[in-house]
Amino acid sequence: MSTAFRDIDTQLVHSGERIVDGAVCVPVFQSATFVSRRGDSYHAARYARLSNTPNHDVLHAKLAAIEGGEAALVTASGMAAITTSLLTFLKTGDHLLLQDCLYGGTHGFVTHELPALGIAYDFIDATDEGSWQRLLRPTTRAVYVESMTNPLLGIADLPGVVRFARAHGLLTMIDNTFASPVNFRPLDLGFDLSLHSATKYLNGHDDIAAGCAIGRAEHVERIRQRLNHLGGSLDAHACFLLNRGLVTLALRVRQQNATALRLARFLEGHPAVERVLYPGLESHPQHARALSLFQGYGGVLALEVRGDEAEAAAVLERLRIALVAPSLGGVHTLVMRPAKVSHAALTAEERARLGIGDRLIRVSVGIESADEVCADFAQALAGR
């Protein structure tokens, strides 16, 4: 076990690390199986799918340290972490409460897969405590929320969710991808389990898919056993890359916080922009909540351009630094139109009800120069 380091900047470099044969960086253990040690039981067998190779061990200790959990588990994607966790704590006959504006993949899994397993669910307005009370059933087992919603960056009453769940003995799960451990530590607030798409900020380089679950040792061990059966484990080379990406997490996220705030302020004052949604802006409906819960507001913002749908499409085409692609949280500035990508499966009416119009553009700022990113948007918006 490594020494406990106090600050996230130090933890990201040192927690879980070990010196192997003098190497400052833990090498890739590109081996599917490991020789048994004398006296090892069957359960101590080390094998790639069982998430217990040296490359997994480093990550588990580091991820647990940075979010203040007892244990962590890495998975082959964010969706592997989410689905494996839900399937660990829910069984036939159980009921689940979920925030109503979920990540598309999670929404799809819940609505398409849970009914066949006999698991019931209800969507709640996580800003309205009364709505959860009304939907509580004797079979309710868990509440599932996200630290910020996509793409409108809404922030639920997270302390209220924890209070409600505790009062009724429910497990609390939060997808903390959008905040990242640099800006928010949900376990400190009392959440039982924090889940991430490590494809986003944690790895941060837009080059691998990965996920993780962080929480109490007993919970993480149960998820690990389920993952061993379902098979969504992360391979050694992706573990190595994720660990390499994590080292710079705090530097990247602080820069992304600063650039996103600057871009949001610039866009809010721009005549071609109708509205900007970013929790760091005073105009954001949950700005006060964001200020009290988060250390920073993250790298994602949304803007609605004036004009018609064609104008929104034209702005994307004119951007030179920002690339038109899904995903977020990485070193590249990425833009996309939620109505055409993440929320394309919804009807136009459903999108309108959620506030996701055809002129809405989501931006995830990278680590390029803030000056140049703002200038890129200035020329793209002026091109009209």
Active site residues: 49, 103, 175, 200
Tell which residue, 6, 116, 127, has the closest CA to residue 66: 6
| 154 lines the binding site for ligand PLP (CB under 6 A) | no
Residue 296 DSSP one-character state: S
Place of tokens 């969504």: 232
HSE (CB half, 13 Å, CA atoms) of 289?
16
Q: How far apart are alpha carbons 96 and 57 in whole angstroms?
A: 31
| 197 lines the binding site for ligand PLP (CB under 6 A) | yes
- Select the residue interacting with ligand PLP from 84, 177, 257, 364 (CB under 6 A): 177
Question: Given the complex with ligand PLP, which of 78 and 181 has the nearer CB atom?
Answer: 78
Minimum CB–partner distance for residue 103 and ligand PLP (Å): 4
- Select the residue interacting with ligand PLP from 54, 105, 285, 307 (CB under 6 A): 105
| 200 lines the binding site for ligand PLP (CB under 6 A) | yes
Q: Encode 326-375 in three state secondary structure.
A: CCCCCCCCEEECCCCCCCCCCCHHHHHHHCCCCCEEEEECCCCCHHHHHH
Q: In angstroms, what CA-CA distances link 156 with 70, 97, 152, 254?
A: 25, 14, 12, 23
Question: Given the complex with ligand PLP, which of 151 and 272 has the nearer CB atom?
Answer: 151
| 178 lines the binding site for ligand PLP (CB under 6 A) | yes
User: What is the number of the residue whose Cβ is closest to ligand PLP?
Assistant: 78
Minimum CB–partner distance for residue 60 and ligand PLP (Å): 18
Alpha-helical runs (H) found in the chain: 8-14, 54-67, 78-89, 104-113, 129-135, 158-167, 180-183, 186-189, 217-230, 236-246, 249-268, 287-293, 309-318, 348-354, 370-382
Question: Given the complex with ligand PLP, which of 197 and 286 has the nearer CB atom?
Answer: 197
How many residues touch ligand PLP under the rule CB under 6 A: the total is: 15
Question: Given the complex with ligand PLP, which of 79 and 97 has the nearer CB atom?
Answer: 79
Minimum CB–partner distance for residue 146 and ligand PLP (Å): 6
Site string for ligand PLP, 314-353 (x = CB under 6 A): ----------------------------------------
Query: Which tokens sit at 233?
Result: 């484990």
- The string over 338-348, giving b where at least 16 C-beta atoms fall within 10 Å of a residue's C-beta and e elsewhere, is bbeebbeebee
Show the CA angle centred on residue 355, arms to residues 349 and 360, nearest 5°: 105
Burial degree of 169 (CB within 10 A; 0-12, 13-18, 19+): exposed
Q: How far apart are alpha carbons 34 and 251 in whole angstroms?
A: 35
Minimum CB–partner distance for residue 313 and ligand PLP (Å): 23
| 87 lines the binding site for ligand PLP (CB under 6 A) | no
Question: Given the complex with ligand PLP, which of 84 and 140 has the nearer CB atom?
Answer: 84
| 107 lines the binding site for ligand PLP (CB under 6 A) | no
Contacting range for ligand PLP; rule: CB under 6 A; set: 160-168, 173-181, 263-271, 372-380: 173-181
| 252 lines the binding site for ligand PLP (CB under 6 A) | no
| 312 lines the binding site for ligand PLP (CB under 6 A) | no
| Cβ–Cβ under 8 Å, residues 147 and 175 | yes
| 260 lines the binding site for ligand PLP (CB under 6 A) | no
| 233 lines the binding site for ligand PLP (CB under 6 A) | no
| 79 lines the binding site for ligand PLP (CB under 6 A) | yes
| 180 lines the binding site for ligand PLP (CB under 6 A) | no
Residues at the site binding ligand PLP, with contacts judged by CB under 6 A? 77-79, 103, 105, 146, 150, 175, 177-178, 197, 199-200, 209, 211
